[in-house]
Chains A and B, each alone.
Chain A
């Protein structure tokens, strides 16, 4: 069929309505890409239908932030579970070995608690809390003055299909602290919401650790310092197969190994 005949045939109107067979839709899509006249005709037909649709509204209050919140909250129940955390026993004095043992004990305890928790009916309420936290974080991201790229990366990480939410609970040194980690396993990065972490004293800095259980290996993911602003949100790379995360307070510049007595928050990734 010559393209002029095609335009006159009424098939392009059906194409815009999606009423043709799959094969015919494919053929016409190809023609739209090849023939300027066909493309223009299709665009004009579409413009009329779009206008009809638009006029079927009496308001124009589209809210993209609401939509993003819906995306975030809709997806959370499909994700990893949020594990409640118990305080670690830090009564033993510190040498490096004991420090590592402390981490191990805390983590084993967390795993045990986590396994029990999976069967616990309170799971749902924690998930709801996590959903709210995620929505709130998203909302704060919208309003805070981040650079566009940083904001874009953060939003992409928070809303990614592959993001796990891990709640890090306050430890003995600071039981009221808590931090949420949004681990985007696709892009290998984490977003941290540290608003419930006390301000680091002068000369000290918080350091985020990725934890592997066997063998127990803490790996530094970086320092939580933001000299330019008062933001509580951080974006850090994480290429590790993390099984848990912890945050310690370290001397400025950070440490090679975590200081257990200064472990502020800790949480494990649900399996």
Chain B
């Protein structure tokens, strides 16, 4: 972690090599997080570049005492991706499609092959969970829902959101530990 902190300080001093390393460490994850929202990998790639453009330009505004670097990146990525989904073009393209990326993958039958093959690793992870977990994780980490939003959307008591989220992530951790 000291290594990460050092890279962030160097990034804030406009060190291109540190920026490149951080890009290597996080770009794929951030692009994936964007894809969960926009459901278009080409668009996700573009937005991911915009996110790292902001990271380069605004690196000095990141304050480690306010949260994780990844959380900061995720927040920028979500905002950018959500902005994109407000465009007319996007609404037109997606008007007959479900916007729940995780749930779609989770519910795809085995013979709905194209997408399943494409996101096989994700499907395996999600299938270790109950559907309510899949929905909750997507809402809280990728769609930027607050605790209250998630409680309303998923019709679960507000006090349950936190504990259910923890249990869902624990399940995933178990799955990851067994799988690797």
Contact = CB atoms under 8 A, between A and B. Distances in A.
Contact of A59 (B41, B70, B137, B176): B41
Given A29-B66, A46-B70, A67-B53, A53 B29 contact: yes
Contacts of A54: 28-29, 32
A50 interface: yes
A228 interface: no
Interface string A11-22: 101111111001
A152 B16 contact: yes
| SS of B interface (majority) | helix
B162 interface: yes
Interface stretch (A37-45, A99-107, A202-210): A37-45
Nearest to A62: B27
B98 to A, nearest CB: 15
A9 B66 contact: no
Interface size for chain A: under 10, 10 to 19, 20 to 34, or 35 or more residues? 35 or more
A17 B125 contact: no
A50 B29 contact: yes
A10 interface: yes
Contacts, number: 144
Contacts of B142: 52-53
* Most B Cβ at <10 Å: residue of A49, A53, A54, A148: A53
Given A19-B140, A67-B49, A10 B162 contact: yes
| SS of A interface (majority) | helix
A39 B1 contact: yes
Given A26-B66, A46-B70, A159 B16 contact: yes
A17 B71 contact: yes
Contacts of B95: none
Given A22-B66, A53-B36, A62-B28, A9 B16 contact: no
A133 to B, nearest CB: 19
Interface in B1-54: 1, 14-17, 20, 23-24, 26-33, 35-36, 41, 44-45, 48-50, 52-53
Contact of A48 (B23, B45, B74, B172): B172
Contact of B20 (A64, A156, A159): A64
B165 interface: yes
Given A49-B141, A55-B122, A66-B49, A42 B68 contact: yes
B118 interface: yes
A55 B173 contact: no
A25 B66 CA distance: 5
B139 to A, nearest CB: 10
A8 B50 CA distance: 36
B151 interface: no
B93 interface: no
Nearest to A148: B17
Contacts of A58: 41, 118-119
Contact of B33 (A14, A44, A53, A64): A53
A98 interface: no
Contacts of A152: 15-17
A152 B165 CA distance: 44
Given A56-B33, A67-B49, A9 B41 contact: no
Nearest to B120: A55
A56 B125 CA distance: 11
Contacts of B23: 62, 64, 67
A75 B53 CA distance: 10
Contacts of A159: 14, 16, 56
A58 to B, nearest CB: 4
B166 A13 contact: yes
Given A10-B162, A26-B66, A75-B57, 7 more contacts: A16-B71, A18-B72, A30-B65, A54-B32, A56-B36, A57-B31, A62-B28
Interface of A: 8-11, 13-19, 22, 25-26, 29-30, 39, 42-62, 64, 66-68, 70-71, 74-75, 148, 152, 155-156, 159-161
